[in-house]
Amino acid sequence: MIFKIHTKEKIYLGIMFAINMLFYTFFVRRLLVGLFYMFKFAGRDAILGMLVLLAYPVVFIALHFLGNLWLSGYLKGNAININREQFPDIFQILKDQSNKLGLKHIPNMYVLQGGGLLNAFAARLAGTHYVVLYSDVLEVAYQEGRSAVEFIIGHELGHIKRGHVSGLKSLLLLPARLIPFLRSAYSRACEYTCDNIGYALSPEGAEKGILILAAGKELYKKVNVNVLLAEAQNQKGLAFWFAEIFSTHPHLVNRVASLRQLQQASTLADSFVINPAKHLAQSQPLGFKEKEDAYKVLASHKDFYGSPEKANENNNQVTKS
């Protein structure tokens, strides 16, 4: 399964790792110095200082564990587990997408009453991955078709695939995550990546899935996406930017625009990689660079040709024409 990792996710993750390396180097140095003075002088103040220094990570890990334990118990006691016997059609989506993404284990999935809230989330609790759908999201699958829910489930599985919900990773990145703007910027980039993964798994439901989150399960059908994007473009400014930099998620209009770009890239690729004859018949064919860029997105995608070797063979026929 090929999907696009948002460039900024890699950049921000690199910055966070660099900050953490500096922090942990300082922390270890302080720890070693503290141990040296403690064993050399065995003073009360030195011992107390060491205990305080060690208390912070211990307390955080304990609180993190208790929070995960509570959420795991809450889901098991108040949500409905989706499995082969309970909502088997939704479980099949989960199973198929997990296999396509190469996940080692199929995550546990629950449906939870959200009080009308349209949302979903992924988490890692006590070493087990969970995907939670709010009940109104699941209703969409039965009222409007599966494609939008396939995208939403694919998006949440993307968080698991990319390790965004890893407890160890969260602990290691904790110092950098305490920097407000950096943490939210990294989170927004991760959301774009997971939208890309959701699109790769369900291109038909991608835009619909985002619009449902924006306008609700009924009104989304009346949204004119072209007008929405045009208005958002005209309204961009300081307030638009200021509101987003504090958020862990991109503005929904930006997510729709990003998916539109993916859709256009896929359409261009289809025009000359999947059906080169149709593309070459067009009055304004793409240039070589455009062909090459779009080909890179799809070249090794087995769903199109059955094998990467066959994809290369088709690409050579197109680029030589």
How many folded domains does the chain comprise? 2
Residues 287 and 215 in one domain: no
Provide the 3-class DSSP secondary structure of residue 82.
strand
Pairwise pLDDT comparison (302 vs 85), residue with the higher score: 85
Judged against a pLDDT cut of 70, whether residue 99 lies above it is answered with yes
Residues 81 and 105 in one domain: yes
Residues 141 and 287 in one domain: no
Judged against a pLDDT cut of 50, whether residue 89 lies above it is answered with yes
Q: For residue 64, is it within any domain?
A: yes
Q: For residue 25, is it within any domain?
A: yes
Residues 250 and 314 in one domain: yes
Residues 169 and 248 in one domain: no
Q: For residue 55, is it within any domain?
A: yes
pLDDT digits over 186-241, tens only?
999 999 999 999 999 999 999 999 998 888 888 888 999 999 999 888 888 899 99
Q: For residue 104, is it within any domain?
A: yes
Q: For residue 121, is it within any domain?
A: yes
**Domain range enclosing 293:** 226-321
User: Pick from 188, 203, 223: which residue ends a domain?
Assistant: 223
Residues 184 and 141 in one domain: yes
H helices within the chain, ranges in order? 7-41, 44-78, 88-101, 135-144, 147-161, 167-172, 174-177, 180-201, 206-215, 225-235, 238-245, 252-269, 276-280, 288-298, 302-305, 308-319
Pairwise pLDDT comparison (313 vs 105), residue with the higher score: 105
Residues 79 and 151 in one domain: yes
Give pLDDT, residue 250. 94
**111, 82 in Cβ contact below 8 A?**
yes
Residues 152 and 288 in one domain: no
User: Pick from 190, 223, 256: which residue ends a domain?
Assistant: 223
Pairwise pLDDT comparison (138 vs 60), residue with the higher score: 138
Q: What is the DSSP code string of 183-234? A: HHHHHHHHHHHHHHHHHHH-GGGHHHHHHHHHH-TTGGGG--HHHHHHHHHH
Q: For residue 149, is it within any domain?
A: yes
Residues 181 and 231 in one domain: no
Q: For residue 274, is it within any domain?
A: yes
User: Pick from 223, 254, 272: which residue ends a domain?
Assistant: 223
Judged against a pLDDT cut of 60, whether residue 279 lies above it is answered with no
Give pLDDT, residue 90. 95
What average pLDDT does the chain have?
A: 81
Share of the chain above pLDDT 90, in %: 44
Q: For residue 1, is it within any domain?
A: no
Residues 118 and 192 in one domain: yes
Residues 47 and 188 in one domain: yes
Residues 185 and 110 in one domain: yes
Give pLDDT, residue 142. 82
